[in-house]
């Protein structure tokens, strides 16, 4: 019998100051490690949630290659993984894509030696427009400053299990996850809006867990940010039967749980839906 592996989602209320966000993330990672976490996942925009849409362009980094290059955010992720001897899923980092006006919103995975072993560039970019009853307009258009990724589905094999990478708005597109063959843990680092999160966050996460018979770990931004934006929070750990094993409504903190291979086998054995698929 294989032992369970402790995994943790970090919830943050990030600001426009990268150094402050890294310090806050570091303290929460240390808390998760003290609880036995072997893998820690950070939320989307963990390193910067700016006062203006274009703020993230100013802190973009070239992607480090072979342990060289990159920038301070990637260096911090590598050093933190190495110091704690854990796997880190680095939420998202603004990565240069060769455009003056756009970046890639990139999730990076680091092993316990501090090596970057996987990269996923967010494919689906959030767009939203709603006029509320009080006359205020809420709107988002990520495509104005973010380039669409092209490298999904992205799966990485680890001693804990097979990890499937996605980011926030991707969770609305189940076809991405259908391409993650035999994935054990789906990552969904997010910064869901309060409006859409209240309506859709939990059912979407539970649906992705149920239909893929996989664990889902969803670290989120959660609270009122300095720029006036409110994010939904409710960082969540969901098991392959769709049961919510841990959730944090709002505010900084940690949601942890056990990735249990026996539980995966139990769910997939009693309901072998993945083996019953007939459409590619």
Task: Report the C-alpha gap between 7 and 216 in whole angstroms.
Answer: 11
Catalytic residue, candidates 61, 102, 116, 122 = 122
pLDDT at residue 234, rounded to an integer: 98
If one counts the domains in the chain, the total is 1
Distance of CA 93 to the CA centre of its chain: 11
Residue 278 within any structural domain of the chain: no
Is 266 in the active site?
no
Which phi and psi angles does 58 have, rounded to 5°? -70, -20
Catalytic residue, candidates 44, 56, 61, 267 = 44
pLDDT at residue 61, rounded to an integer: 98
Is 122 in the active site?
yes
Helices (H), ranges, the chain? 18-34, 72-84, 174-178, 194-212, 261-270
Three-state DSSP class for 189? coil
pLDDT at residue 1, rounded to an integer: 63
Catalytic residue, candidates 97, 116, 168, 267 = 168
Task: Report the C-alpha gap between 277 and 115 in whole angstroms.
Answer: 36
Structural domain boundaries enclosing 240: 5-273
Residue 280 within any structural domain of the chain: no
C-alpha gyration radius of the chain? 18
Residue 20 within any structural domain of the chain: yes
pLDDT at residue 136, rounded to an integer: 85
Residue 279 within any structural domain of the chain: no
pLDDT, averaged per 10 consecutive residues of the chain (280 residues), comes to 92 98 98 98 98 95 86 97 98 97 98 97 95 86 97 97 98 96 96 97 98 98 95 98 98 98 96 90
Considering the entire predicted model, what is its pTM?
Answer: 0.97
User: Which tokens belong to 52?
Assistant: 């203006």
The terminus-to-terminus CA distance of the chain in angstroms comes to: 33
Is 142 in the active site?
no
pLDDT at residue 55, rounded to an integer: 96
């Amino acid at each position: 019998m294989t032992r369970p592996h402790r995994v943790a989602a970090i919830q943050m209320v990030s600001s426009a100051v990268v150094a402050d966000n890294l310090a806050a993330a570091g303290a929460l990672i240390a808390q998760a490690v003290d609880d036995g976490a072997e893998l820690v996942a950070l939320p989307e925009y963990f390193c910067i949630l700016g006062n203006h849409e274009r703020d993230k362009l100013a802190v973009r980094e070239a992607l480090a290659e072979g342990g060289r290059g990159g920038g301070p955010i990637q260096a911090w992720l590598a050093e933190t993984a190495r110091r704690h001897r854990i796997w880190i899923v680095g939420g998202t980092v603004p990565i240069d894509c060769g455009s003056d006006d756009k970046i890639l919103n990139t999730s990076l995975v680091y092993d316990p030696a501090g090596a970057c072993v996987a990269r996923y560039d967010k494919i689906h970019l959030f767009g939203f427009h709603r006029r509320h009853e009080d006359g205020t307009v809420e709107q988002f258009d990520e495509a104005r400053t973010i380039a669409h990724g092209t490298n999904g589905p992205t799966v990485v094999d680890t001693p804990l299990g097979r990890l499937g990478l996605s980011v926030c708005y991707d969770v609305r597109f189940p076809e991405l996850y259908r391409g993650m063959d035999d994935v054990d843990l789906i990552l969904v680092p997010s910064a869901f809006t309060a409006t859409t999160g209240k309506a859709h966050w939990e059912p979407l996460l539970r649906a992705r867990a149920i239909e893929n018979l996989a664990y889902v770990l969803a670290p989120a931004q959660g609270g009122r940010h300095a720029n006036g934006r409110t994010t939904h929070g409710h960082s969540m750990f969901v098991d392959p039967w769709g049961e919510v094993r841990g959730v944090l409504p709002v505010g900084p903190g940690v949601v942890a749980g056990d990735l249990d291979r026996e539980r995966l086998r139990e769910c997939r054995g009693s309901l072998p839906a993945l083996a019953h698929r007939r459409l590619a």
